[in-house]
Amino acid sequence: QVQLVESGGGLVQAGGSLRLSCAASGRTFSSYVMGWFRQAPGKEREFVATISRSGVSTYYADSVKGRFTISRDNAKNTVYLQMNSLKPEDTAVYYCAARSGDTLYSVPNSYPYWGQGTQVTVSS
């Protein structure tokens, strides 16, 4: 079982940037598809981005496409979410997730491993 720990959240102004990191335990990080999800108060957890095992393939929610970039460094067992041009509606707890295989699912329940989340607050 892998453990995931997110970091990098914080308070930023609209239009600013933030980079989230997710550190994974174990030696098999490269065998997992990684994803980022977020959950705002009173809302369902929603898909943000996912990346294939190799990092070659990515998929984004329409709401963040062109602004966010997911990447991974398998040598460091870390996945990143670079968030640019942040908007107040991006405010949420951001979660890192992992699943076996190499299919880029956007459904939260398809990811069995989750981090504890990191708060991102975008002020206007």
Tell me the per-residue pLDDT of 100-124, one tens digit each, with 9 for 90 and over: 988 999 999 999 999 999 999 999 9
Q: How many residues does the chain have?
A: 124
Query: What's the pLDDT at 121?
Result: 98
Share of residues in the chain with pLDDT > 70 (%): 100
Indicate whether 1 pLDDT > 80.
no
Nearest to 39 by CA among 117, 123, 124: 117
Tell me the per-residue pLDDT of 27-43, one tens digit each, with 9 for 90 and over: 789 999 999 999 999 99
DSSP annotation of 102: S
Average pLDDT, the chain: 96
Tell me the per-residue pLDDT of 9-24, one tens digit each, with 9 for 90 and over: 999 999 999 999 999 9
Taken in order 88, 45, 50, 20, the sign of the CA dihedral is: positive
Tell me the per-residue pLDDT of 53-71, one tens digit each, with 9 for 90 and over: 999 999 999 999 999 999 9
DSSP, residue by residue, 31-91: GEEEEEEEE-TTS--EEEEEE-SSSS-EEE-TTTTTTEEEEEEGGGTEEEEEE-S--GGG-
